[in-house]
Amino acid sequence: MRRRSFLKQSAAGLLILPSGIASGRTSPNNKLNLALIGVGGRGMAHFDSVSGENIVALCDVNERNLAAAAKKFPGVKTYHDWRRCLEHEGLDGIVCATTDHTHAPIAIWAMRRGLHVYCEKPLAITVEEARSVRATFLEQQGKLATQVGTQLHGNENFRKVRELIREGVVGELKSVDVWGNREIPKPGYLPAAGEPPEFLHYDLWLGPAPAHPYNPGYFGDFDSAQVPGSNCLNWNMYWDFGAGQVGDMGSHTMDLAWNALDAALPTRISADGEPFHPDVTPVRLRTTFAIPANDWRKEIELRWHQGGAMPEPPTDTALRGIGHGSMYHGTKGTLVCDPGSHVFIPAGTPRDARLSRTGVRGKFSIQEEWIKACKDGGTTSCNFDYASRMIETMLLGLVAYRAGKPVSYDGTKGSTGDATTDALLRRSYREGWPLVG
């Protein structure tokens, strides 16, 4: 079946097919036809996990990175513009590892073309984007496999922490703190500095973002090797290109708590951070969310601390050495965790007590989980329903920060009830790059 006719029929609710069939896959040997979009930096981390599939298209705005990827996948059709790449005939899915400000548009455009999507974190940089990704995914529910690239989710410790909370190790759960210590201060958008190199399609790099003059500072040093996946630190603090640490390490670190809490969207949000800067997201920030009660716990307070803001430790040394962690406070004590280990600190433990964390071995690959789900229609751990709710919550912290006051939120309507604050839930898109296309 042609993909477009499938979409027409499914939109009309006339046809429901298992995911492998929905994708219109025709390749022999049960292999997926995949496009890799963003093939330098973090994109390279996915090469091995997809190399058993048919890689049929590569896309990058940097021709050098495209040429390097083409050596790994010789003879594959290449693109500079992801809008063209998504039209590649016979595609089943995409792996997206581009800049944060393109994630939601690429994910939405891809799903609307019936494509499975693996997308690097963060899934969105505005609340509207998170909601729009979720709405598009839910329209296709059961037909498309999606995954956000929060690969730590595969750690066995994630399952264990959830189990401990549900077993009541902390007693009645009251509040949760999650924190990250990464600090990347930026002075503001960079001034014009020369022309883009001939191998970089800078206008396509900007894509949906407002025009900004070219400056090599957004790209690091093109000529010297950098740690793959670290270039995002050159651009993700700018409002037009990312969501700062909320989207960066926040996506990974909040995931451990989100997995354990069965959380609905928050109803009240407040924020406290360094003074607002119109160009760059804050380094130091603390956001607080009222997370509604569910069938196994009462309402809880969830707090995110970043860039030097830290929660109160239960003992003097409990948080030492945990750059990115979470802790769960209940009537019986506190469970302190990092992505791979945890320790329970009973209430009343002396301040100077020293308890060591228990490391938890074992992990699964969320990339492999996604590929399997594309083929057999199964579920994925960080699908766009689960992950969009988490990033929507985190982004609401930035909305309260920008509003400069606590905000109420109606997650059903996606509104704070105040037009001025609601304007902070979204951004505008350059002509030709709509969020939903």
Cα 96 to chain centroid, rounded: 11
| Least distance from ligand NAD to the Cβ atom of residue 98, Å | 4
Q: Is 231 in the site for ligand NAD (CB under 6 A)?
A: yes
Angle (deg, nearest 10), helices 384-403 and 127-139: 160
User: In this complex, which beta carbon is closest to ligand NAD, that of residue 6 or of residue 205?
Assistant: 205
Residues pairing with 272 in the sheet: 286
* Pairing of β 285-291 and β 300-306: antiparallel
Which DSSP state fits 288? E
Preceding peptide of 105 cis, ω within 30°: no
Provide φ and ψ at 282, rounded to 5°. Answer: -70, 150
CA distances from 321 to 157, 221, 286, 307, 309 (A): 17, 31, 20, 15, 15
The C-alpha atoms of residue 373 and residue 379 are separated, in whole angstroms, by: 6
Interface pick for ligand NAD out of 61, 86, 398, 400 (rule CB under 6 A): 61
| Least distance from ligand NAD to the Cβ atom of residue 180, Å | 13
Interface pick for ligand NAD out of 109, 205, 409, 429 (rule CB under 6 A): 205
Q: Is 388 in the site for ligand NAD (CB under 6 A)?
A: no
Q: Is 121 in the site for ligand NAD (CB under 6 A)?
A: yes
| Least distance from ligand NAD to the Cβ atom of residue 264, Å | 26
User: In this complex, which beta carbon is closest to ligand NAD, that of residue 98 or of residue 253?
Assistant: 98
| Least distance from ligand NAD to the Cβ atom of residue 301, Å | 28
Exposure string over 399-414, b if 16+ CB within 10 A, otherwise e = bbbbbeeebebebeeb
| Least distance from ligand NAD to the Cβ atom of residue 14, Å | 34
Q: Is 253 in the site for ligand NAD (CB under 6 A)?
A: no
C-alpha closest to that of 301 among 176, 170, 173: 176
| Segment interacting with ligand NAD, rule: CB under 6 A, options 32-40, 263-271, 313-321, 429-437 | 32-40
CA distances from 341 to 153, 314, 336 (A): 13, 17, 8
Q: Is 375 in the site for ligand NAD (CB under 6 A)?
A: no
Q: Is 35 in the site for ligand NAD (CB under 6 A)?
A: no
| Least distance from ligand NAD to the Cβ atom of residue 124, Å | 11
Give the per-residue contact string, 79-108, with ligand NAD (x = CB under 6 A; - = no): ---x--------------xxxx-x------
Number of residues that bind ligand NAD (CB under 6 A): 30
| Least distance from ligand NAD to the Cβ atom of residue 80, Å | 7
Residues pairing with 336 in the sheet: 327, 343
Q: Is 120 in the site for ligand NAD (CB under 6 A)?
A: yes
| Least distance from ligand NAD to the Cβ atom of residue 437, Å | 14
Give the per-residue contact string, 141-160, with ligand NAD (x = CB under 6 A; - = no): --------x-x---------
| Strand ordering across the sheet containing 173-180 | 358-359, 341-346, 333-338, 324-330, 173-180, 300-306, 285-291, 268-273, 407-408
Interface positions with ligand NAD (CB under 6 A): 37-43, 59-62, 65, 82, 97-100, 102, 120-121, 149, 151, 204-205, 207, 229-232, 248
